[in-house]
Amino acid sequence: MPVQWAGLSPELLLTVDRSSGEQLRVQLERQLRDAIRTGRLREDERLPSSRELARTLGLSRGLVQDCYAQLQAEGYLVTRVGSATRVAPCAQPPAPPAPTPDPEPPRLIADFRHGVPDLASFPRADWLWAIREAARRMPTADLDYGDPRGSQALRTVLAAYLRRVRAAAADPGHTLVCSGYAQGLGLTLQVLARTGVRAVAYEDPGSPATVTACARAAGLTPVPVPVDAHGIDVRALDATGARAVIVTPAHQWPTGVVLAPERRQALLAWARRRDAYVIEDDYDAEFRYDREPVGALQGLATDRVISIGTVSKSLAPALRIGWLLCPPALSAPLTELKHIADRGTPTLDQLALALLIESGRYDRHLRRMRATYTARRTALVAALATHAPRVRLTGLAAGFHAVAHLPDGTGEGRVLTESLSRRVGLYGMSACRASRAPDPPQLVLGFGDVPERAITEGIATVADLLDGRR
């Protein structure tokens, strides 16, 4: 299907050369034929009106009308009463056969993807209000490129919000707005590489694919460090010789453990002793259920911790808005790299987010989502207790995913394959391990974007696979 251009007359790039000696009408006919033959103008696509094309090219309208009439007679164009001149249906040579499309994936009963919030609950009305208000209020000067660190309004609101809810030592002057977690991590690792860092450690299990890609792009060596029931093993970290580490202290991804107080202190002591930096991924701290809140690590050591946050989990990944709380020594080089990368994150979206937070609508949305995720977590626990009681769940204190521990001897690959054949999407822990080892058999069950009824039906459908009955 061609694009159906709106408006009185679509523009079309054509040129005429009055010094060539070739008649103007001949030039126009030839260029239109070529545009249709080559597919530049597609079947049923609308051409400019004869009056508008004549005005654009500085020709007489009669000459353009004669050109259109000639091409219509040749079968290139078609004109209907009351409609614009369009490219005729059979004016182009047949296209080569298209490759056979991949078969449509089966429609799933339940897809337990992790890391995805409830997309249907995105606060569209509030976001539209914020966009309209931001556009109405923004000074004309804000339509320019502006500060690569981001809008002063958003940095000020973010700093106040993070001080209030995350106990962060946030300073608008050392806050950098970025386009999501991946960009924030990439910029951070590039700056650390400039300071002489050669290796970056990360939690295992964790996010090996993302970390490895960003580390190698920055010229760093990624090094996995084991996680236990108290968080990252700081002694093992010290033995790697790395001078940077990526951690998820408030809710370790994916195990869900909280970095123990003694480990927090040991980690910061390591950073000071090694002249190292801790990169804190504060990815879903807004969603907690049956535990006390855990403050951001950055609040304890502003000179050694780079904290990365986003609205990908709290609102939606599509917004592509995140932030870095930068140590003062790294603030200027991070700003320089951000300026080189893209001159700054879109300002209107930043101003809208600032209004959303400042107005209280963001907090209201989070309260609503906590209730939603609590109900889904309860549904997941109840479904497994009823249909697969041998499966143990951990990591449920916060966020919107859980770890399902399958009975010994259960083959992760077989469970994933057979569950998909039953139209249930399951995801193994092996993808989160640096070794990709399938043992011990565990699943990472995301319930953020799965309605309660689908959770119950999905678990019932694959229960025999989960508890080892097959």
**93 & 183 share domain:** no
Confidence of residue 312 (pLDDT cuts 50, 70, 90): very high
**397 & 441 share domain:** yes
**202 & 139 share domain:** yes
**86 & 216 share domain:** no
**176 & 257 share domain:** yes
Decide which of 324, 340, 359 is a domain's last residue. 359
Segment 147-166, tens digit of pLDDT: 999 999 999 999 999 999 99
Percent of the chain topping pLDDT 90: 81
At 102 the pLDDT is: 74
**286 & 149 share domain:** yes
**Residues 244-277: b if buried by 16+ CB within 10 A, e if exposed:** bbbbbbbbbbbbbbbbeeebbebbbebbeebebb
Confidence of residue 1 (pLDDT cuts 50, 70, 90): low
Pick from 13-22, 291-300, 409-418 the range whose average pLDDT is largest: 409-418
Q: What is the CATH number of the domain that holds 439?
A: 3.90.1150.10
Dist CA 25 CA 440 (whole Å): 76
Q: Which residues pair with 175 in a beta bridge?
A: 325
Confidence of residue 179 (pLDDT cuts 50, 70, 90): very high
At 11 the pLDDT is: 83
Mean pLDDT for the chain overall:
92
State which residues form the domain around 60: 1-101
**201 & 289 share domain:** yes
Dihedral sign computed on CA atoms, order 75, 78, 79, 80: positive
Which is more confidently placed, 340 or 287?
340
> What DSSP letter does each residue of 179-190 carry, written as one string?
SSHHHHHHHHHH
Percent of the chain topping pLDDT 70: 96
**192 & 51 share domain:** no
Decide which of 305, 340, 359 is a domain's last residue. 359
Segment 212-266, tens digit of pLDDT: 999 999 999 999 999 999 999 999 999 999 999 999 999 899 999 999 999 999 9
Strand residues in 237-389 grouped as ranges (E): 244-247, 277-281, 305-310, 322-325
> What is the strand order of the sheet 392-394 is part of?
392-394, 401-405, 442-446
**74 & 7 share domain:** yes
Confidence of residue 103 (pLDDT cuts 50, 70, 90): confident
Segment 263-290, tens digit of pLDDT: 999 999 999 999 999 999 988 777 877 6
At 83 the pLDDT is: 76
**pTM to 2 decimal places:** 0.89
- Please check whether residue 50 is in contact with residue 65, taking contact to mean a CB–CB distance below 8 angstroms: yes
**Taking 80 as the threshold, does the pLDDT of residue 27 lie above it?**
yes
Confidence of residue 3 (pLDDT cuts 50, 70, 90): low
Decide which of 359, 394, 414 is a domain's last residue. 359
